[in-house]
Amino acid sequence: MGLAVFGNIFPIESRMWASNVGSGLYCLALLACAVASYFMDAVNTMFALTMLALVAMAFFGSLMQSAVIGLAGRMGPKVSAAVMFGFGMSGLTVFALSVIGVLVLDSNYKFSSMVQAATLFVFSGVYTAVSTWVYHFCFSCRIEEVVDVLTTLEEERSNPMLARVRSLQCNAGNLRANDLMQPEHTSQLATFSAAMRQMGSQPFNVWLTFAVTMTVFPSVMHQWAPDRIVFLQLLTGCFQVFDVSGRYLADALASYLPSSRLWMLSILRILFVPAFLLGQWRPQSCFLWGSDTGRVLLVVLLALSHGFIGACAMMYGPSQCDTEIRETAGLSMGCAMVIGIFSGSLLALLTQL
């Protein structure tokens, strides 16, 4: 929530540089922890160092998210859709690398786990370096539309009164000096509140979408057949593929779905919770959650709806706001997404009590 309210105090370029450098450093730290854990038996020490690296990962990841989602919100629905598609592709890529590692390295469990983890962290470090170059030396300085948006955002960030003037230009005939001088019109909390009001139900939609998904996936799904490792990997792969497909479809179909009706689809997804739980508790009661085919179908529908509704909400939310507060709107939607992931993870624990 703090990032939603205060994250856009800092320039986007500063946030991107800090998050990219920090991401590279914690990738190196996690790589060192993965290798050291194979050669050392200091379990408590390695656990503490790994947790510190994870805290750094959470901080710098949030910092990057505040910059990327905020910028996407200001630039429009198409860019928001592209960002959500990129998030999905990152998960699919990591899953593919993990599967390849399991298939190739199966002789010594401890050694293969170390090599697999080290490979993923090396890949993440290289990917971070490449994406840093792409953003800072291509995307943010060579694409005219991006340059214009970044320039406008930083002008308004350094001079909140300028943003207020632009927000009142449509009512220039009624513009008064007092309207510009009221501090409540230019504070971060006021901007956040205005963005939440103008986005309507979209923060709720993205929160509920991620909360429902995290409640049943992967924790409940893994209880369907805990001894069938290959089948569970197949289900996880299906989720990753169809989640990305749903995000891609959102860009193509969002214009045909009224934004005011999206909450209906979000509410309907709650039905996945009892369906997945019945697959764990009473699999013999129905073909849909008791057979392999039905379970694959459930995961496919969960993933498609997750990607589609989540991406649509992220597109609709900022686009419903005034231009000068769309960056804050994007940050707020990102905050709702993270809270959805967190609350869904807590509910997942309750399902296994």
pLDDT at 284 > cutoff 80: yes
pLDDT at 50 > cutoff 60: yes
**Which residues contact residue 289 at a Cβ distance below 8 angstroms, ignoring those fewer than 6 apart?**
275, 276, 278, 279, 283, 295, 298
pLDDT at 173 > cutoff 50: no
pLDDT range class, residue 170, cuts 50, 70, 90: very low
pLDDT range class, residue 70, cuts 50, 70, 90: confident
Cα separation, 101 vs 97, whole angstroms: 6
Output the pLDDT for position 164: 53
**Least confident interval from 147-156, 174-183, 244-253:** 174-183
pLDDT at 163 > cutoff 60: no
**Nearest alpha carbon to residue 191 among 73, 112, 99:** 73
**Least confident interval from 51-65, 167-181, 316-330:** 167-181
* Structure-token pair, residue 306: 């997750």
**Least confident interval from 114-118, 209-213, 263-267, 345-349:** 114-118
Higher pLDDT, 42 or 86: 86
Mean pLDDT of 32-37: 86
CA distances from 171 to 74, 167, 326 (A): 22, 9, 19
**Which residues contact residue 234 at a Cβ distance below 8 angstroms, ignoring those fewer than 6 apart?**
296
Are 102 and 39 in contact by the 8 Å Cβ rule? The answer is: no
Read off the pLDDT of residues 285-298 as tens digits, 9 standing for 90 and up: 999 999 999 999 99
Output the pLDDT for position 176: 43
Cα separation, 267 vs 205, whole angstroms: 8
10 Å CB burial of residue 173 (0-12, 13-18, 19+) is exposed
Are 311 and 81 in contact by the 8 Å Cβ rule? The answer is: yes
Read off the pLDDT of residues 261-273 as tens digits, 9 standing for 90 and up: 999 999 999 999 9
pLDDT at 182 > cutoff 70: no
pLDDT at 191 > cutoff 60: yes
Output the pLDDT for position 187: 65
Mean pLDDT, the chain, rounded, equals 84
Output the pLDDT for position 230: 85
Output the pLDDT for position 91: 86
Output the pLDDT for position 108: 59
Output the pLDDT for position 325: 86
Read off the pLDDT of residues 198-225 as tens digits, 9 standing for 90 and up: 999 999 999 999 999 999 999 999 999 8
Output the pLDDT for position 240: 93
Output the pLDDT for position 138: 82
Output the pLDDT for position 159: 65
